Chains A and B, each alone.
Chain A
Amino acid sequence: MISRTLSTVVAMTVGLLILADFFVASASIDALGLYLIRTASVVAAFALVLGMVNVLTVHLNKIYSRNTGWGYSMVLLGALFFTLGVGFLTGGPASTQMQELFETVLFPLEATLFSLLAFFVVTAAYRAFRVKSFETGLFVIFGIIVLLGQVPVGAMLWDQLPVIKDWVLDVPALSGARGILLGVALGTVATGLRVLLGLDRPYVD
């Protein structure tokens, strides 16, 4: 009970101080706000250690129980310890060896995975372009207009297509996106206020 009250009081006080720091131009509140944000960053960095323990637990369990894909878990743990070892021996993530490791292994792997997006977009578009309702009908019509308006052949078919495409993107699409963002902003403020006022306490066990 005491820990619940204490954590709520700490969360509310810190939250209100950071909010005050945004609105009030005072050197002492600025310094306090900066200190609290830096403290939060340090605490958040410790979460990485928790994450590593979690990765170890999950994959060691997988290897121990010989679950499907346990071999991949061995590769993952091997890569984890190898990278950790290189980092410790060469002086951290800024070292040449670590940079080389990132540039020759991690970045190409990420680029390869993201290049798959092109194919995934095609299959997703194929599924989305099936007219099942009035809304999907509109989606298909505007999708075709924008697709044709983007490529030179569209202008060759009808010179007004790029103009219509620009109108679709600048007026209905942009106003729709702004409407979504307005709702998101209101939702974010409401969520933040609930946490700030202690009405929502995700940090309490």
Chain B
Amino acid sequence: MVNQTQLALLLFLITFLPVFYLSGRRVQMGKLPDLRPILAFNVLKGVTARAIETGRAVHISLGLGGITSDVTADSLVGLSVLEYLSEQSAAAGVPPIITMADPTLLPLAQDAIRRPYGADLEEATRAARHVRWIAPEPAAYAAGVMDTLGAEALDANVMVGAYGDEYLLMGEAANRREITHIGAASDPNVAPFVFATADQMLMGEDMYAAGAYLAGKPWHIGSLLAQDFMRWSIVIVIVVLVAINTLL
């Protein structure tokens, strides 16, 4: 027997899937929508160029999430940002320093940083040494990242993933270094910490647009269109239900 939650989710998926497919196909056929400018992505695009100029690395924190938790989507966003920055930095030979709290992200991050080097195994292995697993505990992870931010020669700090209150410890450490700091948070409770410490922030659903804005992947752009459609549909349903409940 299907309960109410399951029914609602099934209905949502049945509506979302065709919209998602049609939007993706539309973008694949070359009908690109105008994406609203998000300053944080523009800054992210320039981060590697600045790092190459200064010869200092970019630190990318993938946060506390992994690929077997309920915040996997946040970690996948972190990985797509890492993929983009790795590809850019591979040509210049300044690989980013990557830290994470969940070891399930370790092989994925190593793959992402190795991939741009292709058959050049020596360079790929050297780059993969920049991937560091710190600790699974939030406080220990924050302490490790604060040490990395303080000790390494860095030009920028990019924090995209799932975080809790410990974000503030790391964000303030980046602030003290006076380096470019881009933060992202999907948790509304962490958003004020990102707002207070980061130069540029990606809040809520903005962070899930990373693949569309940075790499211009068609299915990522298509899913943005589908998300927009679903959001407006939900808003209309809420307004209609409120009106019906008020009038009847």
Contact = CB atoms under 8 A, between A and B. Distances in A.
Interface of A: 22-23, 25, 40-41, 44, 47-48, 50-51, 54-55, 57-58, 61, 68-69, 72, 106, 109-110, 113-114, 116-117, 120-121, 123-125, 127-128, 139, 176-177, 179-184, 186-195, 199-200, 202-203, 205
B4 interface: no
Given A180-B204, A187-B208, A193-B17, A124 B76 contact: no
B168 A200 contact: no
A25 B223 contact: no
A40 B115 CA distance: 25
A47 B104 contact: yes
20 contacts: A25-B2, A54-B131, A110-B139, A120-B168, A124-B172, A124-B193, A128-B195, A176-B188, A179-B204, A180-B186, A180-B205, A181-B188, A183-B205, A186-B230, A187-B186, A190-B208, A191-B223, A200-B217, A200-B220, A202-B108
B111 interface: yes
A141 to B, nearest CB: 15
Per DSSP, are chain B's interface residues mostly helix, strand or loop, or mixed? helix
Per DSSP, are chain A's interface residues mostly helix, strand or loop, or mixed? helix
Which range holds the interface residue count of chain B? Answer: 35 or more
Residue among A116, A179, A189 facing the most chain B CB atoms (10 A cut-off): A189
A127 B194 CA distance: 12
B129 A57 contact: yes
Contacts of B139: 109-110, 113-114
A44 B132 contact: no
A72 B175 CA distance: 23
B123 to A, nearest CB: 16
Given A113-B139, A128-B196, A205-B115, A187 B231 contact: no
Contact of B143 (A40, A113, A125): A113
B63 interface: no
B172 A123 contact: yes
Given A44-B66, A117-B169, A177-B188, A190 B17 contact: no
Contacts of A177: 188
Contacts of B112: 202
B96 interface: no
Contact of A54 (B102, B132, B204): B132
Contacts of B209: 187
A147 to B, nearest CB: 13
